[in-house]
Amino acid sequence: MNNVLKGFRDFILRGNVIDLAVAFVIGAAFTALITAFTNDFIKPIINTILGGGITGGSVKISDGQYLQFGEFLNAVITFVLVAAVVYFIFVVPMNKMRERRVTEEAATESELDVLKQIRDNLSR
C-alpha cells in the first residue's frame, strides 16, 4: 500500500499532471472568454443580419418550438475561434520547438561521428 501511495505521489509531482491541470483550467477560462465574446458581440451581429434584431436568428416551427440557427452559428464561430487560437498559440510553437530539437539532436550526432572519425584516424 505504501508503494502505491509513493508511486501516485511521484506521478502527481512529476509535472505532467500539474501541467495538464493548468492547461485545463486556462483552456476552460479561455473558452468562457471566447463564448462571452461571441455571445455579446458576434451573436447580435448575426441576429441583426439574419433579421429580427437582437432576437433574430430563429424560426418558429410550431407552438413554442424554434429552430435557433443563430445560436448554432454562434457556437460554430466560438469553436473556430477557440481552435484557431489553440493552433496558433500552442500547436505551431510546439511543432517549431520539436523541429528545432530534432535538428539539434541530428547536429549533435553528426558532431559525435566526426569526433569518432578523428579519434579513429589518430589511433592508426
In the chain, what are the domains? 2-88 (1.10.1200.120)
Tens digit of pLDDT per residue, the chain (124 long)?
777 788 877 776 766 766 777 778 888 888 888 888 888 888 888 777 877 665 566 777 888 787 777 778 878 888 888 888 888 887 888 888 888 887 877 777 777 778 888 888 888 7
Element (H, E) at 2: helix 2-13
Please write down the HEC assignment for all residues of 73-85.
HHHHHHHHHHHHH
The DSSP string of 6-54 is HHHHHHHHTSHHHHHHHHHHHHHHHHHHHHHHIIIIIHHHHHHHHSSGG
Tell me whether residue 39 is exposed, middle or buried, using C-beta atoms within 10 angstroms of its C-beta: 0 to 12, 13 to 18, 19 or more. middle
Q: Is 95 helix (H, G, I), strand (E, B) or coil?
A: helix
